[in-house]
Amino acid sequence: MARGRGGARPDARARRVARLRDGRRPDADGHAPSLIHEHPLAGVGPGQVKRLYPVYAPPEALRRHTSHLHNTPLQIAVERGLVGLALWLWIFLAFFVRAGRILRRVPPGAAADRALVAGALAAVAAFLVSGLFEYNFGDTEVLLVTLAVMALPFVVERELERRAA
């Protein structure tokens, strides 16, 4: 069988693209604004999307049940409210600001330290971008790896301080 550039068979890739366009994800995410509007501050509570989705899903929805939205910021806003979303965004903003400062402090000759911090910044950015298409914050394995990666710039910072002392 012929394989495409990414190693997947072309027909398998076409099926994946078709699934993205079949309307299920917009159906699942489409009721989020109503839930946010009705529960703006504290949200509906963790894990409640599964319970409330059938009530808010439009009649033409292809799926009548879902456990999560396919968008991390929407999921957090629905479950934890706009306050929870603001705090979640603040965590990542604080990370990028602090890690960026650490990256600027890394001496030009410390290529490994620079790569570690830059790699952590890139990996967390990728995590956030992928969260626009899936609720990856709810996937424990992915979240734990991301949190460990977020710690790496601070390990470099401590090492820089130790070397300077």
Task: Please report, rounded to a whole number, the percentage of residues in the chain having pLDDT higher than 90.
Answer: 55
Could you give the C-alpha distances from 79 to 48, 92, 159, in angstroms and in order?
7, 18, 39
pLDDT for the residue 1? 47
Residue with tokens 């699934």: 19
Residue of 137 and 65 predicted with greater confidence: 137
| Domain boundary assignment for the chain | 10-164
Q: Which of 125, 131, 102, 128 is nearest to 115 (CA)?
A: 102
pLDDT for the residue 12? 66
Residue 85, exposed/middle/buried by CB under 10 A (0-12, 13-18, 19+)?
Answer: buried
Average pLDDT score over the chain: 85
Name the residue type at position 16: R
For the ranges 40-44, 53-57, 99-103, 146-150, which has the lowest average pLDDT? 53-57
pLDDT for the residue 51? 84
